[in-house]
Amino acid sequence: MGIKVFAVDIDGTLTENGGGAVSLSALAKLRYLDKLGYSVIYVTGRSSIEAFVLAVFGGTTRLAVGENGGAITLAPQEHKLLASREKCMQGYEILKKSLDGVQEKPVFPRMTEVVMLRTFDIAEGQKILDEHGLSLYLNDSKYAFHINEKGVDKALGLKEALKILKAEPEETVAIGDSETDIKMFELCGHGIALGHADEHVKAKASHVVSGKEGVGLIEAIDHVALNYLGVKA
């Protein structure tokens, strides 16, 4: 099957230098793909609203998957929620009482998850959630710790987004750099990890580029364009 969709992580993939600044060169590549008729959607641990706004101002497809797959934004006031923030808040309150350093991170409001500072032992936190019989899991996006419902991940959100786009996972290229992107790699026809990703993340990708952050995203797009699209992106 041909390629129709590019599913792109934001932090550490489209952004660079750890400060949230978008790589304009990489964004230009994504915008060009959109002009060629490919769907370019962000699949991120950030809020789906943030990602949707980036899509609007960046000139890419106006559909975004956020909150590690828990929320999809189709329009400013139109969201599809795949999880419950209330359940995640139960877990947060338990962690806060059980561990030192547990604190919410000041981020854009979330609809389906809880985002925390990376200030405690995530393995110990998961053990506590499990001991309380909560169907929740902790994951590390490298920029924050997230509490999500089990079964909710970037692959779940991306599947729903692809239904909206009338595209198949086999027609999708997933590009990312963190553990939260592994499920996307396993779902999609092509999974590309950036050069700074951890080794276990790279092991799950079908291709690994040497470049980091924005430069790596450009390299990933060029690799796909050269080998699968027959165009120079």
What's the pLDDT band for 233 if we cut at 50, 70, 90? low
Just list the catalytic residues: 9
Q: What whole-number distance in Å separates Cα of residue 55 and Cα of residue 63?
A: 7
Crossing angle for the helix pair 122-131 and 85-98, nearest 10 degrees? 110
* Alpha-helix runs per DSSP H in 111-196: 122-131, 154-165, 182-187
Q: What whole-number distance in Å separates Cα of residue 196 and Cα of residue 51?
A: 22
Q: What whole-number distance in Å separates Cα of residue 35 and Cα of residue 213?
A: 23
What's the pLDDT band for 156 if we cut at 50, 70, 90? very high
Residues 6+ apart with CB under 8 A from 57: none
Which contacts of 121-129 are long-range, i.e. CB under 8 A and separated by 24 or more positions? Answer: 124/99, 125/95, 125/99, 128/94, 128/95, 128/98, 128/99, 129/91, 129/94, 129/95
> What value does the mean pLDDT take over residues 33-56?
96
Nearest to residue 27, comparing CAs of 49, 50, 56, 2?
A: 56
What's the pLDDT band for 77 if we cut at 50, 70, 90? very high
Q: What whole-number distance in Å separates Cα of residue 193 and Cα of residue 13?
A: 9
Strands 64-66 and 172-176, sheet pairing: unpaired
Number of H helices, E strands in the chain: 8, 13
Is residue 194 left, alpha or beta, with left meaning phi > 0 and alpha meaning psi from -120 to 50?
A: beta
Asked whether 196 and 12 are in contact (CB, 8 A), the reply is: yes
What residues are paired with 207 via a beta bridge?
A: 192
pLDDT in tens, 109-145: 999 999 999 999 999 999 999 999 999 999 888 889 9
| Cβ density class 210-223: b for 16+ within 10 Å, e for less | ebbbbbbbbbbbeb
Residue 34 pLDDT exceeds 80? yes
Q: What whole-number distance in Å separates Cα of residue 70 and Cα of residue 50?
A: 14
Q: What whole-number distance in Å separates Cα of residue 129 and Cα of residue 172?
A: 34
> What value does the mean pLDDT take over residues 181-198?
96
Which contacts of 206-209 are long-range, i.e. CB under 8 A and separated by 24 or more positions? Answer: none
Residue 20 pLDDT exceeds 90? no
